[in-house]
Chain A
């Protein structure tokens, strides 16, 4: 009896150790390119190449400095690129939270004509990947009217290319965000609305003071799920922004990479734009994980 129990415990323990070994080996596969990137960003080019064949490639040894980072800042307006990306991301996510949550509120709690139709159209558009409309959309935004100030006079002109708004406005409304808000809001009891209506609250007040404050998790999920694509935008700004001053970090990096084979500086640039996102992820990893899990329920 005792022997059998011991044996079983032994097996379980061996199984557990085996799991740790396998999981650690896989962790190495996922981590080594990134470790290599951060370590190489601190080394001069010649040393990066000579270290490649040995474990030294993954250890910050030898001629370690921040030279490459200074080099990047000297060569390209990377500060400007970062500013552009942060601006575009903050506005896309922030305005998206407002616009999509209001739509979700209207779709889940108010009775109006066309509501059911609108909801089914929103759900139908979920399957349209951005890549299918990217090319026609460039054509489309190049025809849209825009306001410009020319010599102190406000005029209107055509074409949204080369601007901040062309990087933001098309991505504010998001069918999936609307869908998530609609789902979440419909789990909040409607009796709250009725009580507030009797007290004379307007619908907008109910949205702002009652429903939105109760929907923290939905706002967090939508913020996280829209933050990554906004920060990582590549195809769209590649096509609609030629001016260097308006370029976001990802496109700026691709230009930098094409002009430049100094690997140390390239690694410094990639590290520079990866670190902030990684830090955000690591500090909010629990929220990230549950947001991704929430995105799976739409199936």
Chain B
């Protein structure tokens, strides 16, 4: 059986298979592929089912419910009401409009200030001097502190006889008097802006820092060799190298700022006279506390559209770079 093969012209080449053997191998390979496909789907399935149930479906539900009069607890099934909820938001709900304006004001201040301070801190803690890690850790501590804790703490500090007013009194020798920051419609949102930046800036410091550390040291050496000042090095080497980091930082701060909720809920409940109500706060007030799920979904959807716009701008900016 074996002898003829060694003398055949095909000697040295791979042994030709009998049809049956080839069939078995193809079958095995086919079975392996099938198994791989099946296993792939099986292993991904738990995550996919959960994402479908608790992310994708609720997004679709936000769309669907916003055209209905659904209520959280109601014996009647939701009824289709067309664009009524949207009309109500834009024409007959002044609190919604106020919430939208407040949300924009909050984002308009927080985004540039928090991004800028974050970068400043990152540059400071990117120096190669001893003990710099300790400062990084300290600046990051508010980030790991719950925002609920931070809000309660700052509410105490903002009291008329609290830390902030006592501090102002001390450093100006009594020349300036603070106010009841959270009870004054002119200062409440500003006060919340300050503590929000204080809490979150350390996070973006770290993102900037990781961006800074990707810039090769040789570029700075070359710039110094050409006699560039510290400021010129920043403008010509650091800043161009941080482009994609900047887009990421701006987008994450914007989306987080548009979602402002906890600080409002703990500190002011939207007051005084709606000076601190926000889109998400209003959506929860209507959709959950007043049980108008349909209308709450409408407000959530409008918020979602804003987030999408921000994401599209990010897409545009990052594509521009390539």
Q: List A residues at the B interface (Cβ < 8 Å).
A: 16, 19-20, 22-23, 26-27, 29-31, 33-34, 36-37, 49, 52-53, 57, 99-100, 102-103, 105-107, 110-115, 118, 121-122, 125, 127-129, 131-140, 142, 169-173, 175, 178, 197, 202-204, 207, 228, 231-232, 234-235, 238-239, 250, 253-254, 257, 263, 266-267, 270, 273-274, 277-278, 281-282, 285, 288-289, 292-293, 295-299
Contacts and interface: CB of A to CB of B under 8 A. Distances in A.
B144 A52 contact: no
A67 B55 CA distance: 45
Interface of B: 32-33, 35-44, 46-48, 50-51, 53-59, 61-62, 65, 70, 72-73, 121, 124-125, 127, 129, 131-132, 135-142, 144-150, 152-154, 156-157, 161-163, 166, 169-170, 198, 202-203, 206-207, 209-211, 244-245, 247-248, 251, 255, 258-259, 261-262, 265-266, 280, 283-284, 287-288, 293, 296-297, 299-301, 303-304, 307-308, 311, 314, 318
Contacts of B166: 52-53
A270 B149 contact: yes
A203 B145 CA distance: 41
B124 A105 contact: no
A56 to B, nearest CB: 12
Given A253-B148, A257-B152, A274-B149, A16 B259 contact: no
Given A133-B55, A133-B58, A127 B308 contact: yes
Contacts of A142: 72-73
A203 B36 contact: yes
A138 B44 contact: no
Contacts of A292: 140, 203, 206-207, 210
B47 A103 contact: yes
19 contacts: A20-B131, A53-B166, A102-B43, A103-B47, A114-B41, A122-B51, A131-B283, A131-B300, A132-B300, A132-B304, A136-B59, A136-B293, A137-B61, A139-B72, A140-B61, A232-B146, A239-B284, A257-B152, A289-B206
Contacts of B61: 133, 136-137, 139-140
A285 B157 CA distance: 28
